[in-house]
Amino acid sequence: DERERLVADLGDKPLMILRNHGTLGLGATAGDCFRAMFTLEQACKVQIHALTAGRDKVLIAPKAAQEVVHEQTRRGVGGALPWPGLLRRLNRLSPGYDA
């Protein structure tokens, strides 16, 4: 079944880019999921902008630097920091959205 295959492909990762279907995100809370999806979208935008300069001009960080960034982001605050502020903004801009 396709659902089981997606779960197996996702493994222990919180995000997946689905070919021709967008993205899939998981999180312990809605805030964690939102933060991860927002970060993925921003990273994709940066990559697209960088690639417009040509692949030969894009620098790839050394593996050690990539591992440090991964460790820092893996143990971060998740959605705990931005989520309450985003909900306040949503309540202010669209009162009654949750009715």
- % of residues, the chain, pLDDT over 70: 93
The C-alpha torsion from 70 through 9 and 79 to 36, rounded to 10°, is 70
Q: Is 98 within the bounds of a domain?
A: no
Structural domain harbouring 70 = 2-90
Q: Is 81 within the bounds of a domain?
A: yes
Q: Which two tokens stand for residue 91?
A: 């309540």
pLDDT for the residue numbered 64: 94
Q: Tell me how far CA of residue 59 lies from CA of 47, 53, 65, 66, 72, in angstroms.
A: 11, 11, 12, 12, 21
Number of domains in the chain: 1
SS (HEC) of 55-98? HHHCCCCCHHHHHHHHHHHHCCCCCCCHHHHHHHHHHHHCCCCC
Q: Is 99 within the bounds of a domain?
A: no
Q: Is 50 within the bounds of a domain?
A: yes
Q: List, for residues 25-72, the tens digit of each pLDDT value.
A: 988 888 888 888 888 899 889 889 888 888 887 888 999 999 988 887
